[in-house]
Amino acid sequence: MVVAGNTPTANSLTKIGKMQSAGCRLCRIAREARGESTDGVAAETHGHINSAGCKGMATTVTAAHHSIWRHLKKIRQNGRKMTSFRRGTAKLAAWVGRELGGSAPHQCR
């Protein structure tokens, strides 16, 4: 859905008049939890949410990044074929889905 561009974000919903603010809800929640001002929150886009720049997703995005690199390093060290990488990414996608309380965000092939 993300690749097709049909998963709504606050940025896209604001453009069609369904939301009043394009600000990232996750960043706003993270700032409120730290007692900081919620003025000037970055726009909620797919790129923003999937980056460590999103304060609400930074820990999850960084953990996924490190997990992928650890797995790639193991593949390289052991000389395994890429089919092993595909199985590993499917496991990672399932873990992310469980952590977010839903299904995996995509299917790895």
Residue-by-residue pLDDT tens, the chain, 109 positions: 556 656 788 888 888 998 888 899 999 999 999 999 989 899 998 888 888 788 888 888 888 889 888 888 887 777 666 555 566 667 766 766 665 554 444 444 3
Please state the domain count of the chain.
2
Is residue 41 domain-shared with residue 2, that is, in the same domain?
yes
Domain that holds residue 50: 1-56
Is residue 66 domain-shared with residue 85, that is, in the same domain?
yes
Q: How far apart are CA 54 and CA 49, in angstroms?
A: 6
Is residue 48 domain-shared with residue 92, that is, in the same domain?
no
How much is the pLDDT for 104? 42
Distance from the first to the final alpha carbon of the chain: 16
Question: Last residue of a domain, which of 13, 30, 56?
Answer: 56
Q: H or E element: which one contains 48?
A: helix 46-49
Of 14, 40, 18, nearest to 27 by C-alpha is 40
Predicted model pTM: 0.54
